[in-house]
Amino acid sequence: MECTKDETAITNCEKKNKDESQLSHIKNDRNKRNKLTKPPRPRKNEPGFHKVMFEETSYYFKKGLRYVYPYPFTFTAHVKGRWLNLTVLELFGKEFHMETMEYYEKAIQIGKIRVDDKIVSADHILKNNEVLTTQVHRHEPPVVQEEIEFVENSTDMVVINKPSSIPVHPCGRYRHNTIVFILGKEYGLEKLHTIHRIDRLTSGILMFSKVPEKAREMEQAVHERQVEKEYLARVAGEFPSEEVKLDEPILTTSHKIGVCQVHTDGKPCSTVFQRISYNGKSSVVSCKPHTGRMHQIRVHLQWLGFPIINDPIYNHATAWGLGKGKKGTEIDAKKVIAELIRTRKDNSYGDEINTNKPEQINSTDINNAIENKESALTEKHINNATEETMDDAENNKLCSPDLKRRKLASSNNQIKNDLIEKEKCDSSDTKSITESPLCTGKANYSKGCAKKEEKRVCYMSRDLGEEYYDEDCTECKKKWKEPLQSELVMYLHAYQYKGPGWSYKTSKPKWAEDDWNEE
């Protein structure tokens, strides 16, 4: 409306123009504030690992293993539909079982567990669109320390020979001890596009692309089965000399711990096997999978009766019964899964059975066993101990400094003598981060020390330094056994990949050599 010379109209017109001008400034200011306070959203296809993540912690190396210093970390999760109307404490009691309810109550109280970055009460009811953050002190399992062999490192491709024991991406308790983090932290390869994956325990060909266009091209070749793959495996026994082709369907019987079996309800699978060598005890076999099912090679080898000799799942000593999963053997999947869980060494990773389990020693049971001059726990004690503790007690592998002091305090002279022998035996061992490790392994003290490779020691976070210890962290209070390198390696290797116009091949692992014999 056009303003007139009427005084009232002039005043109203000026006021309107002033209000519109102020409103425009307010909108501009708000937009500026939003740009400053809201982080830019990452591009949809851009890899998400960057320098800030890489600097969360660092590595240290010991006895051929790569360790990660414990570090604080915050998990972030948007409230899911099934979480709605639960209290914060109810949620952690229902879905998260890593800690006790007492721990979660304290974490909520002191603000290690927050909702929308605010400290709330334990009975706060979760609502839609809320964000739950959990601050933890993170401990990662060690992996094998090997220099990464680059098969290709060009302008658009990175192809490596992945060492065994290292997962490709962060998963479970692994983050910095993963291939993508190691490549980013140590080789400056920060923005890689993953083309495919191989199992944590499997070594060999692993392909990344530096540019999205090449990644899409390679992914298409993989998905359309234009890629020929050859793996090497060392299996138990004398594999047939003639070519063996197996077309047996595979069913995933447990997604939780990653276990599969040959089953009529499974997905179609095809693998071609050809023996390369036999050393009198085990065979090296070329394995060419024509499909890409989970654990396909491992399951097919087990079904044929020639499992990979150190496969922690499909060559498990007790899980598969007398037939050990060989063709025609009736398998009770529930019993198999229960036995794998019962005897598993570690819960750090979803799809493998590992060995880096914290010591969970019942001090009363151990003291009673020592006082009764028993080298192993009695049935009464076994009922109150974990499987790992039972094995350690039977093999004289208990190695904590606290146990050493308890033994020294014992009035039993024989145990004192045993301890002296242990210390003599251990004197030639390399220094460890524990203050006084005992000799481990099935040592016969009258005949000398156990073999070097059977020795292992325990360590705690505080042994690394006070800066790596968190008073509220239960894992900081646990004793962790150093794994052996042999326990982190499985004899399955992705040897060669061929696709349209390209081919990648690694060197052979030592265990695949014709004259190799396991010591």
Per-residue model confidence as pLDDT tens digits over 405-458:
333 343 344 433 433 333 333 333 333 332 222 223 333 323 333 344 456 788
CA atoms of 339 and 316, how far apart (whole Å): 9
DSSP assignments along 463-481, one per residue: HH-GGG--TT-SGGGSEEE
pLDDT, position 382? 25
Inform me whether the pLDDT recorded for 280 exceeds 50. Answer: yes
Active-site residue list: 199
Q: What is the mean pLDDT of the chain?
A: 76
Q: Where are the alpha helices (DSSP H) in 44-137?
A: 51-54, 88-95, 101-110
Rounded to an integer, the average pLDDT of 157-181 is 95
CA atoms of 307 and 29, how far apart (whole Å): 68
Per-residue model confidence as pLDDT tens digits over 380-399:
222 332 222 223 322 222 23
- Residue 12 confidence class, pLDDT cut points 50, 70, 90: low
Q: What is the CA radius of gyration of the chain?
A: 29
- Residue 243 confidence class, pLDDT cut points 50, 70, 90: very high
Which pTM value belongs to this model? 0.70
Burial label for 104, CB within 10 Å (0-12, 13-18, 19+), is buried
User: Is 198:504 a contact under the CB 8 Å cutoff?
Assistant: no
DSSP assignments along 426-451, one per residue: HTTSPP-SSSSPPP-SS-BTTTBPPP
pLDDT, position 329? 82
User: Is 307:324 a contact under the CB 8 Å cutoff?
Assistant: yes
pLDDT, position 55? 92
Strands 113-115 and 71-78, bridge-based pairing: unpaired
**Closest Cα to residue 283, out of 237, 243, 314?**
237
Q: At what angle do helices 387-394 and 363-371 cross, to 10 degrees?
A: 20
pLDDT, position 191? 87
Answer with the residue of higher pLDDT: 505 or 349: 505
Inform me whether the pLDDT recorded for 246 exceeds 60. Answer: yes
